[in-house]
């Protein structure tokens, strides 16, 4: 009978415990990140709804659309008499670099390096196409949707080098909404537009499946 190797058993046990501890740390980090993301998105949503409520506007959150086999998404959609505003949230602190037309932006985090991220303005362009298609099919004519990117991290921890008036800090969101174009009355049927876009929403599973099929093609 093979002699029981206590040292080997102890080493294997130690490795297993380290692996379990690492998994727990990763899960906790992911949980905290998701909780923070949800909190920041709710903060933007509340600000949009405070603007919308007295004006008879509508706000849709976490919107995932499918139109003619194509997908599009926005963190929030503000629907008003002016038309439609697509809003995208960025929750990370750091230095943002890029141009409005770049495929990717970069985020510099002190002590951690730079990270590449998809340009949300291009996401907005794609989603705008889906919105216009859906409304056209419903017999609704609107100008091309406006878009905005809101950086929700504390202002003291963020520097944006992206030259676009549509990229703002959370503290500047009220000023953005106060622009003349969002006060215009184009006789938009707010409830009808909200109804069409809400009806076109799909589940996260179907949405990501559609994106995967597009990527494979």
Closest CA to 127 of 58, 79, 176, 70: 70
Q: Give pLDDT tens digits for 53-102.
A: 999 999 999 999 999 889 999 999 999 999 999 999 998 888 999 999 99
**Do the beta carbons of residue 105 and residue 160 sit within 8 Å?**
no
Work out the average pLDDT over 172-190: 95
Computed over every residue of the chain, the mean pLDDT equals 84
Does the pLDDT at position 212 exceed 50? no
**Range 18-44 burial, b when 16+ CB lie within 10 A, else e:** eeeeeeeeeeeeeeeeeeeeeebbebb
Give the predicted TM-score (pTM) of the model: 0.78
Q: Where are the domains of the chain?
A: 41-216
Q: Give pLDDT tens digits for 25-59.
A: 444 433 334 545 567 889 999 999 999 999 999 99
């Amino acid at each position: 009978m093979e002699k029981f190797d206590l040292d080997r058993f102890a080493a294997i046990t130690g490795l297993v415990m380290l692996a379990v501890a690492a998994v727990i740390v990763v899960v906790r980090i992911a949980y905290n990140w998701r909780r923070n993301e949800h909190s920041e998105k709710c903060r933007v949503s509340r600000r949009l709804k405070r603007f919308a409520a007295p004006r008879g506007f509508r706000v849709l959150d976490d919107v995932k659309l499918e139109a003619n086999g194509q997908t599009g998404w926005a963190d929030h959609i503000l629907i008003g008499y002016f038309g439609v505003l697509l809003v995208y949230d960025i929750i990370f602190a750091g230095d943002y670099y890029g141009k409005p037309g770049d495929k990717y932006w970069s985020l510099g985090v002190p002590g951690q390096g730079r990270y590449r991220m998809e340009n949300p303005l291009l996401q907005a362009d794609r989603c705008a196409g889906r919105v216009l298609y859906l409304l056209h099919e419903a017999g609704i004519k609107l100008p091309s949707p406006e878009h905005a990117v809101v950086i929700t991290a504390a202002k003291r921890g963020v520097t944006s080098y992206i030259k676009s008036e549509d990229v703002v800090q959370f503290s500047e969101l009220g000023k953005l909404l106060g622009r003349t174009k969002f006060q215009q009355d184009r006789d938009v049927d707010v409830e009808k537009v909200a109804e069409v876009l809400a009806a076109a929403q799909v589940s996260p599973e179907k949405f990501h499946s559609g994106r995967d099929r597009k990527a494979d093609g």
